[in-house]
């Protein structure tokens, strides 16, 4: 396994599952950390297999677990626990996102791990704050997006609608990765380890920070839900408009700045051939607020123009005219567009998976001038048992065979 990058030399004991914790440790692995993913013998972590295809790694597992090493360990057996404690001594970081209390029940409390390794960074991700009344509650992504403001601000005025991707899962995971790296920097400077806790609800509250502007402006009434409109205030144009050829994903979102003095609306009028609607020419279109109140006029002009342009053309023409516009791009659009695979971008990468063959998946978004991420497929279950238990903990082949026979590993 390649171990280059800024986190090269750091080792992570990864006791994560599903998306939130696994996306955190995948980021650490992409940045060069050696990530040892601990999984149940035979079953793997909870997200590895689906009921539909038992024994075959889910695509969800592939996308969350690149560049890691997998070891199997029954943490509930005394011998398995000893193996894990041996690894705690050899690791810089532990990351886990089990249900509340599970790590403590296993005997892997922060205090126990700190006793083994005083400089350990012990990172726990839960649904809810460990110092609040919901601390013992389980949580998946939609629980966190509902309890963390986002869904109250998303959807139609009469109906909240949750987001289609797992913002709370991967978002919390990325914030945890950032905090772990900060804790490692502090350890370098001050020589101390520490516990890092993050709750998905709390992450979502922070992510929803823009909602406090309309909250105070509108007299603290419940959140505005404006479908695809501008959530902060009533301004136009701001909508997701249908365009040629009017299929399921043939839309473009257009939003003109509400900042005083912005020329974006005038630029749009020029681009769509309607100079008669410019702010100094047409009184109904003079300000963002007036354009919202008279949105029938501006929306009709935009929709008429989009009858002759698909989402890609519309985005190109408008953005080149300095009008913010975004084509509605699906997973299919992204997967089949070569621009995302460019060597200096690698937002999409192709990996070879033993069961799934060649698979195209998203990579690491930031680009760093001194870092090149080398992408590797997610690991086979227990694929690094020999290397980790034999190499790192010094167990003999006989001992490994015995542990395997007893289903400890």
Ligand X SMILES: CC(C)(COP(=O)(O)OP(=O)(O)OC[C@H]1O[C@@H](n2cnc3c(N)ncnc32)[C@H](O)[C@@H]1OP(=O)(O)O)[C@@H](O)C(=O)NCCC(=O)NCCS
Longest dimension (CA), the chain: 86
The two tokens of residue 186 are 């502090």
Catalytic residue among 92, 141, 169, 266: 169
Residue 104 is among the residues annotated as catalytic for this protein: no
Question: Which residues make up the interface to ligand X (CB under 6 A)?
Answer: 18-21, 38, 40, 46, 73-76, 97-99, 102, 105-106, 125-127, 138-140, 169
Q: Residue 20 or residue 208: which is nearer to ligand X going by CB?
A: 20
Q: Residue 276 or residue 387: which is nearer to ligand X going by CB?
A: 387
CA nearest to 46, candidates 57, 36, 33? 57
The two tokens of residue 406 are 């007893």
Q: How far is CA 201 from CA 137, 168, 222, 262, 293, in A?
A: 11, 8, 19, 36, 36
State in Å, rounded, how far the first CA of the chain is from the last one. Answer: 21
Q: Which residue is nearest to ligand X (CB)?
A: 99
- The answer for residues whose C-beta is within 8 angstroms of residue 109's C-beta and 6 or more apart is 103
Q: Least distance from C-beta 20 to ligand X, angstroms?
A: 4
Q: Least distance from C-beta 386 to ligand X, angstroms?
A: 18
Torsion-angle region of residue 246: left (phi > 0), alpha (psi -120 to 50) or beta?
left
Q: Least distance from C-beta 119 to ligand X, angstroms?
A: 24
Q: Residue 48 or residue 295: which is nearer to ligand X going by CB?
A: 48
Q: Least distance from C-beta 42 to ligand X, angstroms?
A: 11
Question: What is the distance of C-alpha 178 from the center of its chain?
Answer: 12
Q: Least distance from C-beta 170 to ligand X, angstroms?
A: 9
Q: Residue 169 or residue 202: which is nearer to ligand X going by CB?
A: 169
In our burial notation (b when 16+ CB lie closer than 10 A, e otherwise), range 250-281 reads: bbbbbbbebeeeeebbbbbbebbebeebbbee
Q: Residue 76 or residue 307: which is nearer to ligand X going by CB?
A: 76
- Could you give the residue numbers annotated as active site? 169
């Amino acid at each position: 396994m390649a171990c280059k990058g800024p986190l090269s030399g750091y080792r992570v004991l990864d006791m994560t599952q599903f998306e939130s914790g696994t996306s955190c440790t995948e980021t650490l692995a992409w940045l060069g950390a050696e990530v040892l993913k601990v999984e149940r013998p035979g079953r793997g972590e909870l997200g590895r297999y689906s009921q539909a295809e038992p024994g075959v790694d889910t695509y969800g597992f592939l996308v969350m677990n690149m560049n890691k090493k997998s070891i199997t360990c029954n943490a509930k057996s005394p011998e398995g626990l000893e193996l894990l404690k041996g690894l705690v001594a050899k690791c810089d970081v532990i990351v886990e996102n089990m249900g509340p209390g599970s790590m403590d029940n296993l005997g892997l409390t922060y205090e126990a791990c700190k006793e083994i390794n005083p400089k350990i960074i012990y990172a726990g991700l839960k649904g809810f704050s460990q110092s609040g009344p919901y601390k013992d509650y389980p949580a998946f992504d939609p629980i966190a997006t509902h309890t963390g403001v986002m869904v109250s601000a998303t959807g139609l005025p009469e109906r909240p609608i949750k987001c289609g991707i797992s913002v709370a899962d991967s978002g919390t995971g990325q914030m945890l990765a950032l905090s772990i790296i900060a804790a490692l920097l502090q350890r370098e400077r001050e020589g101390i380890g520490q516990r890092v806790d993050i709750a998905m609800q709390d992450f979502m509250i922070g992510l929803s920070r823009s909602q406090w502007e309309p909250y105070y402006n509108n007299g603290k009434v419940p959140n505005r839900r404006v479908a695809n409109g501008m959530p902060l205030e009533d301004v136009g144009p701001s909508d997701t408009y249908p365009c040629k050829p009017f299929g399921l994903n043939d839309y473009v979102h257009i939003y003109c700045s509400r900042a005083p003095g912005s020329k974006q609306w005038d630029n749009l009028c020029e681009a769509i051939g309607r100079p008669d609607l410019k702010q100094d020419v047409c009184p109904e279109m003079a300000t963002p607020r007036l354009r919202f109140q008279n949105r029938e006029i501006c929306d009709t002009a935009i929709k008429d123009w989009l009858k002759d342009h698909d989402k890609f053309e519309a985005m190109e023409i408008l953005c080149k005219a300095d009008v913010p516009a975004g084509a509605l791009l699906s997973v299919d659009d992204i997967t089949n567009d070569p621009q995302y695979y460019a060597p200096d971008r690698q937002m999409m990468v192709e990996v070879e998976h033993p069961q799934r063959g060649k698979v195209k998946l998203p990579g690491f978004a930031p680009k760093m001038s001194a870092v090149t991420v080398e992408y590797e497929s997610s690991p086979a279950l227990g694929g690094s048992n020999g290397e980790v238990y034999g190499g790192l903990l010094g167990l003999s082949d006989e001992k490994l065979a015995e542990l395997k026979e007893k289903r400890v590993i």
